[in-house]
Amino acid sequence: MKRAVLILVGLVAAAGDARAAGYSLYEQGARALGMAGAFTARADDPSAMFFNPAGLAQVEGQAFLVSPNAIFFRSDFAGAAPSPGYGVVEQTEDKTFLPLALYYARDSGALTGGIGMYNSYGLEVEWQSPDTYTGRYISTRSKVRPFFFVPTLAYALNERLRVGAGANLVFSKVELERHLPAFDPFLGQTVDVGTAMLESETNFGAGWNAGIQWQPAARLHVGASYRSKVAVDYRGSADFTRRDTGDPPFDALVAATFPADQAIATSVPFPAQGSIGLAWEPCSSWAFEGDFNWTWWDAFDRLEVRFPATPALDFESIQDWKGVMNIRVGSEYRPGDWSYRAGYYFDKSPQPRASLGPLLPDVDRHGITLGLGHNFGAASLDAFALGIVAPDRATEGENRDGYEGTYSNSTFTLGMSLGVAFP
CB of 394 to another protein, least distance (A): 9
- In this chain, which of 229, 243, 306, 400 binds another protein, going by CB under 8 A? 400
CB of 374 to another protein, least distance (A): 17
CA distance to 64, 294, 344, 389, per residue, from 365 (Å): 32, 15, 10, 6
- The sign of the dihedral angle between the CA atoms of 25, 26, 29, 34 is negative
CB of 181 to another protein, least distance (A): 5
| 326 neighbors 20 (Cβ within 8 angstroms) | yes
Distance of alpha carbon 232 from its chain centroid, rounded?
16
Whether the bond between 53 and the residue before it is cis, its omega within 30 degrees of 0, is no
Contacting range for another protein; rule: CB under 8 A; set: 112-120, 275-283, 287-295, 392-400:
392-400
Contacting range for another protein; rule: CB under 8 A; set: 54-62, 230-238, 340-348, 401-409:
401-409
- In this chain, which of 61, 85, 308, 335 binds another protein, going by CB under 8 A? 85
H/E segment holding residue 395: none
CA distance to 124, 148, 203, per residue, from 95 (Å): 8, 22, 24
Distance of alpha carbon 216 from its chain centroid, rounded?
33
Asked if residue 185 binds another protein (CB under 8 A), the reply is yes
CB of 83 to another protein, least distance (A): 4
Contacting range for another protein; rule: CB under 8 A; set: 11-19, 27-35, 144-152, 341-349:
11-19
CA angle in degrees (0–180, nearest 5) for 12-13-15? 85
Closest CB to another protein among 209 and 409? 409
Closest CB to another protein among 40 and 410? 410
Give the residue among 326, 314, 119 at the shortest CA–CA distance from 230. 119
Asked if residue 408 binds another protein (CB under 8 A), the reply is yes
**Integer Cα distance of 259 and 53 in angstroms:** 48
Asked if residue 414 binds another protein (CB under 8 A), the reply is yes
Closest CB to another protein among 273 and 408? 408
Q: How many helices (H) and strands (E) does the chain have?
A: 4, 23
CB of 321 to another protein, least distance (A): 19
**Integer Cα distance of 143 and 111 in angstroms:** 38
- Interface positions, 126-155, toward another protein (CB under 8 A): 134-138
Contacting range for another protein; rule: CB under 8 A; set: 55-63, 68-76, 270-278, 338-346:
68-76
Closest CB to another protein among 93 and 298? 93
Closest CB to another protein among 83 and 202? 83
Pairing state between β 95-97 and 100-108:
unpaired
Q: What is the DSSP letter of 246?
A: S
- In this chain, which of 51, 127, 226, 403 binds another protein, going by CB under 8 A? 403
Asked if residue 164 binds another protein (CB under 8 A), the reply is no
Asked if residue 377 binds another protein (CB under 8 A), the reply is no
H/E segment holding residue 193: strand 189-200
- Interface positions, 316-375, toward another protein (CB under 8 A): 358
Binding-site size, another protein (CB under 8 A): 60
**Integer Cα distance of 350 and 299 in angstroms:** 11
Closest CB to another protein among 50 and 97? 97
Give the residue among 82, 38, 100 at the shortest CA–CA distance from 291. 38
CB of 332 to another protein, least distance (A): 23
Q: Tell me the residue type at 295.
A: T
- In this chain, which of 201, 244, 316, 392 binds another protein, going by CB under 8 A? 392
Q: What is the DSSP letter of 328?
A: E
x/- string (CB under 8 A) for another protein, residues 246-265? ---x---x------------
Reduced to 3 states (helix: H, G, I; strand: E, B; else coil), residue 133 is coil
**Integer Cα distance of 224 and 209 in angstroms:** 11
Q: Where are the alpha helices (DSSP H) in 226-265?
A: 248-257
CB of 401 to another protein, least distance (A): 5
Site for another protein, rule CB under 8 A = 2, 5-6, 9, 12, 14-15, 70, 72, 74, 76-89, 91, 94, 96, 134-138, 178, 181-183, 185-186, 188-190, 192, 249, 253, 358, 392, 397, 400-403, 405-412, 414
